[in-house]
């Protein structure tokens, strides 16, 4: 592959990573602000609950974009490919199977017109698995390097922040799980799930912005794959 083709490949991978990061950070901000303004309303209990607001199309569209980006992303090895592709499918599941509605009786929701209890169960399952995978990818996969002896200072700094982002996601999920226990359920702070989801999405977004070298990037683009790997290098 010629140098111009290599450069285009690096740019496309870096751009894809940054797009995923920006979407993760902007999604909770846009749905909350938009949900308050168009029309004016109260802050909802979760990001997912904005499906039942004027922000439905933005919520579903953004998650579908993240899902497609993750599914189409090609990592450094088969495990990277598998986990990011699985994350993409789970993101699509979160988008296409809405959370439970606020109605007191079951209603048909989503493009598949499922009972909202069934749709909500699928939604929650996909969401939990998605955040676990995203946290694991940031903590364990993003920190890998092809040659530990040649690791740059910037790569070491990136690894530090990858672990912080992964730790934030794991910690947020743990807090949510603790307050979901029957003995503590009534003690949960207002908008707990919204806060947990926002924390996870921001940590996920920052992790991918770093992966795309929008933050802490090397001065020289070193993201080319080793000869014959067919994918981007570990950054």
Domain contains 229: no
Domain carrying residue 27: 3-211
Cα–Cα dist 200/190, whole Å: 17
Domain contains 222: no
Parallel/antiparallel/unpaired status of strands 114-115 and 108-109: antiparallel
Model confidence band, residue 228 (pLDDT cutoffs 50, 70, 90): very low
> What pLDDT, on the 0 to 100 scale, is given for residue 215?
75
- The tokens for 31 are 């749905």
Domain contains 225: no
Which of 72-81, 152-161, 169-178 has maximum average pLDDT? 169-178
Model confidence band, residue 138 (pLDDT cutoffs 50, 70, 90): very high
> What pLDDT, on the 0 to 100 scale, is given for residue 185?
80
Q: In this predicted model, which residue has the larger pLDDT, 227 or 64? A: 64
Domain contains 13: yes
Give the chain's end-to-end CA distance (angstroms, integer).
Answer: 20
Domain contains 140: yes
**What's the total number of domains in the chain?**
1
Domain contains 224: no
How many secondary structure helices (H) and strands (E) does the chain include? 6, 2
Residue 94: closest CA among 69, 62, 135, 137: 62
Mean pLDDT to the nearest integer, 60-85: 91
Q: In this predicted model, which residue has the larger pLDDT, 76 or 116? A: 116
């Amino acid at each position: 592959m010629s140098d111009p083709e290599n450069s285009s490949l690096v740019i496309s991978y870096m751009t894809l990573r940054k797009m995923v990061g920006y979407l993760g950070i902007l999604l909770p901000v846009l749905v909350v602000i938009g949900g308050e303004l168009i029309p004016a309303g109260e802050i909802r209990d979760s990001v997912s609950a904005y499906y039942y607001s004027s922000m439905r199309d933005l919520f579903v569209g953004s998650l579908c974009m993240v899902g497609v980006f993750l599914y189409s992303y090609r990592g450094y090895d088969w495990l990277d490919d598998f986990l990011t592709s699985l994350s993409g499918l789970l993101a699509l599941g979160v988008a296409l199977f809405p959370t439970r509605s606020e109605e007191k009786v079951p209603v048909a929701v989503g493009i598949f017109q499922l009972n909202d209890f069934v749709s909500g169960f699928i939604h929650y399952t996909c969401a939990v698995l998605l955040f676990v995978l995203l946290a694991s990818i940031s903590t364990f996969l993003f920190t890998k390097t092809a040659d530990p002896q040649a690791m740059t200072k910037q790569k070491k700094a990136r690894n530090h922040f990858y672990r912080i982002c992964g730790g934030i996601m794991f910690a947020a999920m743990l807090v949510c799980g603790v307050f979901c226990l029957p003995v503590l359920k009534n003690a949960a702070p207002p908008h707990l799930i919204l806060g947990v989801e926002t924390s996870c999405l921001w940590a996920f977004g920052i992790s991918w912005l770093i992966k795309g070298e929008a933050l802490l990037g090397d001065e020289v683009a070193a993201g080319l794959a080793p000869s014959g790997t067919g994918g981007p290098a570990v950054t």
